[in-house]
Amino acid sequence: MALDCWYPTPELRGNTIFNRWTMAHVFLDELTIDPREQKVFFYDYDAQRAEIERSLDKSLVRQAFYDFWNQHAANDCRETDAAWVTLREKMRIAMPRLQLPVDHRTGKFHGAISIMLSARFGRPGDYNLPRLLNVANTAFDH
């Protein structure tokens, strides 16, 4: 047995979430049954909407930037490049006016961000320097 199933899918336009209605032929075994919430559904609208809302939360995106910089900024590998592309897309959605470079190692961007985050967190960022004073001296020299 198949059903014609109409369901909304949340889409992001600018910083606003709109619902786009979609139709699919759905068989009974494709439905998800949630007895706790007493729901039967084909498409998990609530989960998709929550994911989009999280992408709009600037504090979460800002924390994702800090996490990227702490984990990946000193690395030069494919995983770092892929993580940067993902982060740029999240930041583009949450903060559309902010223009980030295609590569996080571009020009003086890397050095400026490393210096600012070292000062913010009170420890050398991605530099291989032992103390914050060494970061300050490097910043002064450049």
Same domain membership, residue 97 and residue 31: no
pTM of the model as a whole: 0.59
pLDDT of residue 126 exceeding 70, the answer is: no
Specify the range with the lowest mean pLDDT, choosing from 54-58, 73-77, 124-128: 124-128
Domain boundary residue, one of 23, 41, 56: 56
> What was the pLDDT predicted at 6?
93
Report the domain count for the chain. 2
Asked whether residue 62 falls in the same domain as residue 52, the answer is no
Domain match, 113 and 71 both: yes
pLDDT of amino acid 10: 92
Cβ-contact 69, 126 below 8 angstroms? yes
Residue 138 sits at φ, ψ, to 5 deg, of -65, -40
Domain boundary (16, 31, 56) is at 56
Q: How far is it, in rounded angstroms, from Cα 24 to Cα 37?
A: 23
- The rounded distance, in Å, linking the Cα atoms of 15 and 94 is 7
Grade residue 127 by pLDDT with cuts at 50, 70 and 90: low
Domain co-membership, 113 together with 62? yes
Kindly report the backbone phi and psi dihedral angles of residue 39, in degrees, each rounded to the nearest multiple of 5, phi listed first: -130, 145
